[in-house]
Each structure stands twice: as structure tokens, then as C-alpha cells.
């Protein structure tokens, strides 16, 4: 079974650090991770630079990333204006977040549910007007799906209704996002079944998880057992959500890749090359802590990844 690891560090990770990573360091990061076998990278977000100066160079980063063969270049957009910029830059995949918590939606995007759905409809119209070969993939992400630090738990009926509304507005698929780190394996299974029962099996393939309370990889396993095949993660565990208090910690790409390879699943990732990418981030962001168990403990003696290459052992 092949699993797609979607790296979100250059967007979700960098938007949560105070320092601004130099553009050339970002390019080195993306190029090195792609060379390690990561096939999809969320390289930036098209938001006003005054809100997220860390991502002000997203158009340049997209243009660079598009020169890397076989890499899906993904971005996040908050609205139709951002989507227009992303389309102009040449992004292959566009994700629009819709928080199922309206309080969080107003805090994050300054828009109600109805307004975000209208933005989705506008974006879908923009995409459909393009030549078929030039159309980016359009995902609507159900943020705070497992609970909100501002509202608490969100009713199933509201989550299902919003998932259906995104698809009706013209999204190609929806994704589940544990923005606040509230998910557990039971809730992951439950929401996957709920949303797929509403929008269909093929309209939900990916999930974005945080490791805020140490359940990130357990939640990944639950998602895999329910049939999802795309998992978001961040190199070194960088990231979270600046508009959801306490929502720290994406799952660590290195730990995720090692777990999947240990299970005999195909990620296409060269672990040695992936681990080496950490030095690029460490040099560019010397005051930012990086996380990861496998890089601290090392690879077990005799372990061999599915790439067929020997990897470092502790």
C-alpha cells in the first residue's frame, strides 16, 4: 500500500515561528525534501504579508517549487483573492480552510460559514474557467473538526452539513483537520465514517493531525485503518495554529515516515536523506526547537526501508 506524506512545514510550520526564514533557505528545504522522496509539499499561503510576513514570498516559492520534477506544489488560501494569487503563481493544489467552529472561523478568516462557502464557490468558478490541464486540485479543509479551543465539541450534524456544502460549492475533495490537537483514535474513526457517509468514499482521502497531546501517530494509524492514504506532517514537528490557543505541534515527518516504512507501507522516502534536511532548518532557524523521536534514538540495527537502502542505526 502506498501512502502519501504531505509536508506542510514550509507553510504551517513557518507561520508559527517568529523568525522569518530566508527565501533561499526555504528553497533549499523544499528541494532537499523532494530529493528525499516527499511527493507533495505545502510551500506557502497566499495571505496579506502584514498578517504573516513569514510567508510573504509564497509566489516566488511556488514558482521555484514548480521546477522540481514530480512534486505536487500545494498552498493554503484564506479566500478567493488568495486563490487568484495562487492560481497565478501556478500552484498544483489549493486548500481553503473552513472551520466547523464558527467562532474560530471568525477569529481565523473573519468570515462566517456562509461567507466561506461562498468563497469556495467563487474559487471553484475561477478554477473551472481555466483550461482543463491548468486547473489546480481544490480541497476544502474541515478545520477544528475534532473540537475547538473556543467552542468545545462541534455537533456531528454541523460537520456533515459543512462537508456537503463544500462539495456542493465545487471542491474536489474535503479533508479533516485536527487544528487543536483534540483528536483520539476513536474520534478519528468516527469522523472519517461520518464525513465519508455524507460526501462519499473518494471525497475524503487525507487528514491533518497535531501531536499536541501525544496522540498524533496513534491517530494516523486509526486513519490508515479507515482507508485514508494522505497524511499531513511537518519536518521537525514545526507548527500549529496561531488562532487556536494551545494548538501546538504538527506530527513529525521523520517519525511518521519511519513508522510507515516500519509497517511495510510504501512512502517512497529515503530516510537518511529526509533526516539530513533537518540541518537546513536548524541553520536557518537556530533558536527554533526541532522535535522527533527517531532522529534522537536512531534507526534500529538491521532496519531497511522500502527504498532498499540501508539507513543509519543508533
Q: Return the active site residues.
A: 241
Strand partners, 206: 230
Closest CA to 105 of 139, 71, 145: 145
Burial 95-122 (b: 16+ CB within 10 A, else e): bbbbbbbbebbbbbbebebeebbebbbb
Alpha-carbon span 3 to 220, nearest angstrom: 11
CA distance 160 to 297: 41
Q: Nearest to residue 47, comparing CAs of 16, 85, 6?
A: 85
Residues 6+ apart with CB under 8 A from 7: 33, 38, 40, 41, 42, 232, 233, 234, 235, 253
Beta bridge partners of 304: 310
For residues 10 and 55, give the distance between their C-alpha atoms in angstroms, rounded to a whole number: 9
Q: 23-62: buried (b, 16+ CB within 10 Å) or exposed (e) per residue?
A: eeebbbbbbbbbebbbbbbbbbbbbeeeebebbbbbbebb
Which residues have a Cβ under 8 Å from the Cβ of 102 and sit 6 or more positions away?
A: 112, 113, 151
A 10 A CB-CB count for 77 gives 25
Contact 254, 300 (CB under 8 A): no
C-alpha cell at 49: 504579508
Q: Label residue 152 exposed, middle or buried (CB < 10 Å: 0-12, 13-18, 19+).
A: exposed
127, 138 contact by CB (below 8 A): yes
Amino acid at each position: 500500500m502506498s501512502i502519501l506524506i504531505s509536508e506542510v512545514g514550509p507553510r504551517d510550520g513557518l507561520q508559527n515561528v517568529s523568525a522569518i526564514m530566508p527565501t533561499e533557505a526555504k528553497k533549499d528545504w523544499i528541494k532537499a525534501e523532494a530529493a528525499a522522496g516527499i511527493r507533495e509539499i505545502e510551500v506557502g499561503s497566499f495571505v496579506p504579508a502584514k498578517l504573516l510576513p513569514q510567508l510573504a514570498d509564497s509566489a516566488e516559492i511556488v514558482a521555484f517549487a514548480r521546477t522540481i520534477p514530480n512534486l505536487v506544489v500545494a498552498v493554503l488560501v484564506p479566500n478567493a483573492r488568495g486563490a487568484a494569487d495562487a492560481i497565478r503563481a501556478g500552484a498544483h493544489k489549493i486548500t481553503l480552510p473552513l472551520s466547523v467552529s464558527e467562532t474560530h472561523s471568525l477569529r481565523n478568516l473573519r468570515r462566517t460559514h456562509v461567507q466561506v462557502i461562498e468563497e469556495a464557490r467563487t474559487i471553484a468558478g475561477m478554477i473551472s474557467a481555466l483550461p482543463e490541464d491548468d486547473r489546480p486540485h481544490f480541497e476544502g479543509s474541515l478545520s477544528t473538526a475534532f473540537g475547538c479551543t473556543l467552542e468545545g465539541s462541534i455537533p456531528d450534524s454541523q460537520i456533515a452539513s459543512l462537508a456537503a456544502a463544500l462539495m456542493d460549492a465545487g471542491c474536489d475533495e474535503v479533508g479533516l483537520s485536527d487544528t487543536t490537537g483534540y483528536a483520539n483514535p476513536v474520534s478519528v474513526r468516527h469522523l472519517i465514517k461520518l464525513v465519508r457517509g455524507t460526501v462519499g468514499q473518494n471525497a475524503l482521502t487525507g487528514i491533518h493531525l497535531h501531536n499536541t497531546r501525544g496522540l498524533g501517530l496513534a491517530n494516523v494509524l486509526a486513519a490508515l485503518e479507515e482507508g485514508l492514504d494522505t497524511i499531513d506532517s511537518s519536518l521537525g514537528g514545526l507548527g500549529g495554529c496561531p488562532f487556536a490557543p494551545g494548538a501546538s505541534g504538527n506530527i513529525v515527518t521523520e517519525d511518521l515516515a519511519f513508522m510507515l516504512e516500519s509497517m511495510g507501507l510504501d512512502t517512497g522516502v529515503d530516510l537518511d536523506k529526509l533526516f539530513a534536511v533537518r540541518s537546513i532548518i536548524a541553520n536557518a532557524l537556530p533558536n527554533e526547537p526541532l522535535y522527533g523521536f527517531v532522529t534522537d534514538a536512531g534507526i534500529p540495527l538491521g532496519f531497511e526501508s522500502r527504498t532498499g537502502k540501508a539507513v543509519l542505526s543508533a
